């Protein structure tokens, strides 16, 4: 398997003998790279998940091998100080070049973006109008039928929007497997289905209704509720729930 973290030159600093991922002693050149950046860290991350690693192990997965003194300095700084270090400060550390400074900066940027996705900021779906407002402006002008799913948590907050299929001018084929595989992966508690009619007329067809019922039945089997299905037209929509179709 291709190594995605370290180059062959970096890996040459380690011995090949790694009998297990815990309580091992891996030989390394004295004063070369920090002990936590050995193959043990990689194996442990693969076997137990990165979340099981200590801070030095997480840093090791991001940065790869770096000198002992640099790792010890980073550990002493703590996460808050690390996140505030400038590129110039990082580049002044032994063993931290441009590539590794970018890796570390990117990791903290991902963390910052995650904080913007806190549950209290996620939109609530309390009515068909709430769901329609989220998709109307983007969906009303599409020239082909798109079938989307709004994935909800247990509080009916939207945790993701998935494009399930893109069809033709008047149809968008949909299979329960395609709809629910991402819902299961994201641990969604419920769904709101939406698709557009490029004609601008949101009146659902009999086929729309029958397909929706089959999708609901499939969801009931795996414990994911379909709260509603909206058909989006030009500045107007139809709610299957409100019309009593489901």
Instruction: Calculate the average pLDDT of the chain.
Output: 78
DSSP three-state, residue 228: strand
Q: CATH number, domain at 30?
A: 1.10.150
Q: What is the tens place of the pLDDT at every residue in 32-64?
A: 444 444 566 666 666 666 565 566 677 777 777
Count of C-beta atoms within a 10 Å radius of residue 94: 10
Q: CATH number, domain at 196?
A: 3.40.140.10
Same domain, 128 and 230: yes
Same domain, 71 and 184: no
What number is the average pLDDT over the span 127-144?
Answer: 92
Please give the pLDDT value at position 219.
94
Concatenating the DSSP letter of every residue in 85-104 gives --HHHHHTSTT--HHHHHHH
Same domain, 148 and 229: yes
Same domain, 149 and 105: no
pTM above 0.75, yes or no: no
Is residue 129 scored above 90 in pLDDT?
yes
- DSSP character for 157? B
- Per-residue pLDDT band for 3 (boundaries 50, 70, 90) equals very low
Tokens 């009999």 — which residue? Answer: 206
Strand pairing of 225-232 and 190-196? parallel
Q: How many CA atoms lie within 13 A of 30 on its CB side?
A: 0
- Per-residue pLDDT band for 116 (boundaries 50, 70, 90) equals low
Helix axes 68-84, 55-63, angle to 10 degrees: 100
Is residue 231 scored above 70 in pLDDT?
yes
Same domain, 75 and 128: no
> Considering the domain boundaries, does residue 2 fall inside one?
no
What's the number of domains the chain is made of?
Answer: 2
Count of C-beta atoms within a 10 Å radius of residue 174: 20
Is residue 179 scored above 70 in pLDDT?
yes
Residue 125 lies in domain: 121-243
Please give the pLDDT value at position 140.
85
- DSSP character for 58? H
What number is the average pLDDT over the span 200-227?
Answer: 94
- Per-residue pLDDT band for 107 (boundaries 50, 70, 90) equals confident
Count of C-beta atoms within a 10 Å radius of residue 173: 13
Same domain, 199 and 108: no
């Amino acid at each position: 398997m291709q190594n995605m973290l370290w180059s062959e030159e970096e890996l040459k600093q380690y011995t090949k003998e790694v009998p297990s991922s815990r309580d091992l002693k891996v030989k390394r050149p004295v004063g070369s790279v920090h002990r936590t950046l050995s193959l043990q860290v990689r194996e442990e991350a693969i076997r137990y998940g990165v979340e099981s690693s200590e801070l030095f192990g997480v840093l090791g997965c991001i940065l790869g091998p770096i000198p002992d003194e640099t790792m010890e300095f980073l550990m002493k700084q703590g996460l808050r100080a690390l996140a505030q270090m400038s590129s110039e400060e990082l580049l002044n550390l032994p063993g931290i070049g441009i590539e590794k400074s970018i890796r570390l900066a990117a990791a903290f940027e991902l963390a910052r973006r995650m904080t913007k996705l806190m549950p209290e900021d996620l939109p609530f779906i309390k009515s068909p109008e709430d769901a329609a407002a989220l998709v109307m402006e983007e969906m009303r002008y599409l020239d082909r039928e798109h079938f989307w799913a709004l994935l909800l948590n247990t509080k009916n907050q939207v945790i993701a929007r998935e494009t399930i299929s893109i069809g033709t001018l008047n149809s968008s084929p949909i299979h329960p497997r395609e709809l629910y595989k991402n819902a299961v992966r994201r641990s969604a508690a419920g769904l709101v289905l939406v698709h557009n009619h490029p004609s601008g007329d949101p009146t659902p067809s009999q086929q729309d209704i029958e397909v929706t019922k089959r999708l609901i039945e499939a969801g009931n089997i795996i414990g994911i509720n379909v709260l509603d299905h909206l058909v989006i037209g030009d500045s107007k929509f139809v709610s299957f729930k409100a019309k009593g179709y489901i």
